[in-house]
């Protein structure tokens, strides 16, 4: 075939363009840096893992206390979609279960208490309320319950004594601190915060320290949390661990793994819970919402690969939800692919739908490790997602790696694409990021060497796509 010379002006005229795709980070190659957080080392659970999973930040932190260190709880907010602001209330509790599940607790040894003494500071927004909850139990039954409420501003440490409803008998106690009015789920304000230190119960004899309430010692949890770029994890604050990076993959270097948790499900968070990710966002109490732009009205298919190891008869699911503008559901959606059988290797799935009679605005993909009755330890791994209409999966079609050479990798200024044979017509080259957003695109009349300027791209991992003669090849490169 006739060899055509590279048209250099075309190369130099490559421009940044925008082309929204509906699957972020489709083969889970891009993950956040490990996120660690301040964790009291005396058995207190915090909202930090859930807050990191939802908002990629923390809302419980170590601060200088009335004596030594103390702990601060701050309600936060984040814009999770256009015009949508969601909040995450901060909490700590001396039980692994949800603070208000009334489950678990720490042993209580001593005389019956009459007051709780606490050092605190706070800045609770108007109409909002922060709480300390004190729940006494005997043989698993509640024998005393007191909500201690905080309003307004206390800008310096204050030692206060609060009357509590004395229990008749007690062998354990739950103490929980919450930064906003999650009990009524009303007037929750991201400006509200409370800090506590040195809590103890007043009795007729010796005071009884709330174990670990000096908050002087903190430990960094292991492992630290990493997040799949473009995806939100869990929701509602139940299952503490979300998606994890795994080197068991169908393509590339990583896959995404979900393992159902031992707690966080029904019955106030005391039963096993499914772990989930979504391409939208998780609300505080109502599960996944939102999604990414999707306007295709033709027939389409979501495909990918999964590896499933259920416990008992547990099932997993992959769901597609399409909505019109104004969050109006597209008829026939959501559609769900139910995974029932265990697999020993990655298995392909396809979830398709016919041409639509309505115009969608967004697509959301939800992936869950368990079904309606979660079983702790059920494991789901997912990799290499793609839409037929967008073809974002990293794959080779017709061509092989022997037909094309791309160098250098990593690249600094220029990415070279060399054909080891010849082509009959134009060559289309596209550079896109881990979310599928097209960054560079153009056509070239060349079958020899194409030079793609990448110096203006931020450092990170990207994809290239080369189309010519009806064939396509896609792969990754690193921009230094």
Any long-range contacts for 331-334 (C-beta under 8 Å, 24+ apart)?
Answer: 331/357, 331/358, 334/366
| Token representation of residue 151 | 């309003």
Q: Are residues 373 and 400 in the same domain?
A: no
333 and 237 in one domain?
A: yes
- Give the separation between CA 457 and CA 455, rounded to whole angstroms: 6
Q: Do residue 53 and residue 140 come from a single domain?
A: yes
Mean of per-residue pLDDT scores for the chain: 82
Q: Do 433 and 308 have their domain in common? A: no
| Per-position b or e across 464-480, b if 16+ CB within 10 A of its CB | bbbbbbeebbbbbbebe
Q: What is the dihedral of CA 267, 272, 277, 280, to 10 degrees?
A: -10
Q: Are residues 453 and 407 in the same domain?
A: yes
| pLDDT over 60 at 223, yes or no | no
Alpha helices in 284-406 (DSSP H): none
DSSP string, 22-84: SSSSTTS--BPPPB---EETTS-EESHHHHHHHHSS-SEEEEE-SSSEEEEEE-EEEEEETTE
Q: Considering the domain boundaries, does residue 225 fall inside one?
A: no
Is residue 2 in some structural domain? Answer: no
Residues 178 and 130 in one domain: yes
Q: Are strands 362-368 and 316-324 parallel, antiparallel or unpaired?
A: antiparallel
- Spacing of C-alpha 442 from chain mean position: 35
Nearest-Å Rg of the Cα atoms of the chain is: 27
CB 419 within 8 A of CB 1: no
Has residue 29 been placed in a domain? no
13 pLDDT band, cuts 50/70/90, is: very low
End of a domain among 387, 410, 429? 387
| 343, 417: one domain | no
CB 405 within 8 A of CB 444: no
Q: Judge whether 266 lies within some domain.
A: yes
User: Confidence class of residue 356 from pLDDT cuts 50, 70 and 90?
Assistant: very high
Residue 475 banded pLDDT, cuts 50, 70, 90: confident
| Angle, CA of 239, 241 and 246, to the nearest 5° | 140
Q: What is the tally of structural domains in the chain?
A: 3
418 vs 216: which has the higher pLDDT: 216
Please give the residue that has the higher pLDDT: either 101 or 291: 291
Q: Are 346 and 306 in contact (CB under 8 A)?
A: yes
Of residues 148, 182, 227, the one with CA closest to residue 75: 182
Answer yes or no: is 450 within a domain.
yes
CA distance 302 to 322: 12
Q: Are residues 399 and 274 in the same domain?
A: no
- Domain of residue 460, CATH code: 2.60.40.3080
- Give the residue numbers spanning the domain of 160: 39-219
**Domain end (from 192, 219, 246):** 219
Helices (H), 80-228: none
Confidence of residue 404 (pLDDT cuts 50, 70, 90): confident
> Are 306 and 258 contacting, i.e. CB atoms less than 8 angstroms apart?
no
For residues 426, 431, 437, 443, the Cα torsion angle rounded to the nearest 10 degrees is -20
At 422, the pLDDT band (50, 70, 90 cuts) reads low
Task: With respect to residue 423, please indicate whether it lies within any of the assigned structural domains.
Answer: yes
pTM: 0.67
Residue 326: count of CB within 10 angstroms of its CB: 6
Question: 280 with 406, same domain?
Answer: no
Is there a cis peptide before residue 408, judged by omega within 30 degrees of 0? yes
- Spatial separation of the C-alpha atoms in residues 361 and 291, rounded to whole Å: 9
Q: Longest C-alpha distance within the chain, in Å?
A: 99
pLDDT for position 21: 65
Angular region, 401: left φ>0, alpha ψ -120 to 50, beta rest: alpha
CATH number at residue 205: 2.60.120.890
The residues, ordered by sequence, that sit 6+ positions from 63 with a Cβ below 8 Å of its Cβ are 69, 70, 71, 72, 195
**Closest-CA residue to 108 (of 126, 127, 95, 122):** 95
* Residues 258 and 188 occupy one common structural domain: no
In sequence order, what are the beta bridge partners of 193? Answer: 74, 123
DSSP character at residue 112: P
Checking if the pLDDT of 234 tops 80, the result is no
* Contact of 271 with 374, CB cutoff 8 Å: yes
Please identify, among 185, 219, 253, the residue that sits at the C-terminal boundary of a domain.
219
Q: Give the Cα separation of 183 and 201 in Å (integer).
A: 24
Q: Is the pLDDT of residue 306 over 60?
A: yes
The sign of the dihedral angle between the CA atoms of 386, 389, 394, 400 is: positive
Q: Is the pLDDT of residue 398 over 60?
A: no
Task: Give 430 or 424, the one with higher predicted confidence.
Answer: 430
Same domain, 77 and 198: yes
441: exposed, middle or buried (Cβ count in 10 Å: 0-12, 13-18, 19+)? middle
160 belongs to a structural domain: yes
Span 236-244, average pLDDT = 53
Pair 301, 423 in one domain: no
Residue 31 — pLDDT band, cuts 50, 70, 90? confident
Q: Is residue 1 part of a domain?
A: no
Pairing state of beta strands 404-407 and 414-419?
antiparallel
Q: Which two tokens stand for residue 174?
A: 């739950």
For 201-213, give the secondary structure using H, E and C: EECCCCCEECCCC
């Amino acid at each position: 075939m006739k060899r055509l010379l590279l048209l250099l002006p075309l190369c130099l005229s490559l421009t940044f363009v925008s082309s929204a795709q509906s699957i972020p980070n489709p083969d889970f190659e891009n993950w956040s840096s490990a996120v660690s957080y301040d964790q009291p080392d005396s058995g207190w659970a915090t909202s930090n893992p859930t807050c990191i999973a939802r908002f990629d930040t923390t809302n419980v932190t170590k601060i200088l206390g009335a004596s030594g260190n103390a702990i601060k709880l701050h309600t936060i907010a984040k814009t999770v979609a256009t015009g949508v602001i969601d909040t995450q209330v901060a909490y700590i509790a001396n039980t692994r279960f949800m603070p208000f599940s009334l489950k678990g607790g720490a042993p209580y040894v001593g005389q019956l208490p009459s007051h709780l003494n606490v050092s605190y500071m706070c800045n609770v927004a108007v109409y909002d309320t922060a709480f300390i909850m004190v729940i006494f139990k005997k043989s698993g039954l509640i024998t005393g319950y007191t909500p201690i409420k905080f309003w307004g501003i206390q800008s310096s440490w204050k030692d206060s004594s609060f009357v509590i409803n004395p229990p008749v008998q007690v062998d354990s106690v739950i103490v929980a601190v919450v930064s906003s009015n999650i009990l009524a789920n009303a007037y929750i304000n991201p400006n509200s915060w409370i800090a506590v230190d040195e809590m103890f119960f007043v009795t007729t004899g010796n005071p009884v320290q709330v174990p670990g309430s000096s908050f002087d010692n903190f430990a960094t949890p292991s492992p630290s949390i990493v997040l799949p770029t473009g995806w939100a994890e869990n929701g509602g604050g139940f299952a503490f661990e979300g998606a994890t990076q795994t080197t068991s993959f169908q393509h590339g270097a990583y896959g995404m793994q979900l393992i159902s948790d031992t707690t966080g499900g029904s019955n106030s968070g005391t039963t096993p819970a499914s772990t989930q990710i979504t391409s939208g966002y998780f609300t505080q109490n109502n599960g996944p919402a939102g999604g990414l732009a999707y306007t295709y009205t033709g027939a389409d298919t979501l495909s990918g690969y999964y590896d499933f190891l259920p416990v008992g008869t547990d099932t997993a699911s992959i769901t597609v939800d399409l909505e019109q503008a104004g969050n109006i559901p597209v008829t026939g959606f959501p559609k769900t692919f139910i995974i029932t059988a265990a697999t020993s290797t990655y298995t392909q799935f396809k979830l398709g739908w016919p041409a639509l009679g309505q115009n969608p605005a967004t697509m959301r993909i939800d992936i869950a490790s368990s079904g309606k009755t979660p079983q702790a330890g059920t494991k789901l791994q997912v990799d290499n997602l793609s839409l037929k209409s967008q073809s974002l999966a990293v794959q080779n079609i017709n061509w092989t790696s022997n037909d094309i050479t791309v160098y250098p990798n990593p690249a600094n200024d220029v990415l070279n694409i060399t054909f080891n044979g010849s082509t009959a017509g134009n060559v289309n080259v596209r550079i896109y990021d881990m979310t599928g957003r097209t960054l560079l695109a153009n056509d070239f009349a060349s079958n020899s060497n194409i030079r793609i300027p990448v110096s203006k791209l931020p450092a990170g991992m990207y994809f290239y796509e080369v189309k010519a003669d009806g064939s396509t090849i896609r792969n990754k490169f690193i921009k230094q």
